[in-house]
Amino acid sequence: MTTTFSVTASDVINASLRTLGVLGATDTANSNDQINCLQALNIIVKDWGKDAQYLWKQKEILLPMVVGQASYQIGLTATGTGALVTDRPLRILDAFIRDSSNNDQTIQIVSKQEYNTLGDKTSQGVPNQIFYDAQLTNGVLYVYNVPSDTTHTIHLIAQIPINDLATVNDTFDITQEAYRAIKWVLADELALEYGASPTTIQITAQKALMYKQKLDDWSQEEVSTFFQPTPRFGRQ
């Protein structure tokens, strides 16, 4: 017995087109349909990429501190002092800082406005606040205070993009539990383009919504929730 079942983009394209009645049980999409549907699939996975709750696309990124360095590029083509070459985070969900003795401290994630209103941005010490500017190619992480030594490493819990599908033979950068949702969401995306009947369009839309919602619900981390005021700049 195994748990390694996977599907390619071609598998999902064919399944979606069968659902719409475009293909028969033993048919496969022609090259033009494959190109059109692969584009639709990439549009869908890019849209899914903005959903921060997908736990399989959350990654812990370690960023060593550099003395006197207030900003750090993070991305596949990151350059400059302290740059970290890795997937460009879409957003930072959580963060903490660890010293050389493995002691951790919370770091506050602030907005651009809050970062701009901070005081002397050259003041050195242990960073306790960060602002992340996602940008298009490489993100930039700003730290405050500026590091005074190299004994600390910031741990970022980051949301990273879902990988592109370059060809129809590629497998998905999504968990197995998302396969049903991606099949029906693709069928819903293609229904009008392929002239599906009104009844098929309605049923497909309902199933796409249902399975996507089930996926979203399943992807939530199961933890306790606490609410408390967070003091910032003397206010609560």
Is there a domain that residue 98 lies in? yes
Which DSSP string do the residues of 143-171 spell out, in sequence order?
EESEESSSS-EEEEEEE-PPPP--STTPB
| Mean of the per-residue pLDDT values of the chain | 91
Stretch 14-24: mean pLDDT: 96
How much helix, strand and coil, in percent to the nearest 5, is found in the chain?
Answer: 30, 20, 45
What would the pLDDT profile of 29-63 be if each residue is shown by its tens digit?
A: 999 999 999 999 999 988 887 775 676 788 999 99
Answer yes or no: do 151 and 111 share one domain: yes
Number of domains in the chain: 2
Answer yes or no: do 107 and 131 share one domain: yes
Query: Residue 14: which domain range?
Result: 9-53+163-189
Is there a domain that residue 70 lies in? yes
What would the pLDDT profile of 101-142 be if each residue is shown by its tens digit?
A: 999 999 999 999 999 999 899 999 999 999 999 999 999 999
**Predicted local distance difference test score (pLDDT) of residue 236:** 47
Answer yes or no: do 99 and 36 share one domain: no
Q: Using only the alpha carbons of the chain, give its radius of gyration.
A: 22
**Predicted local distance difference test score (pLDDT) of residue 183:** 97
pTM of the model: 0.79
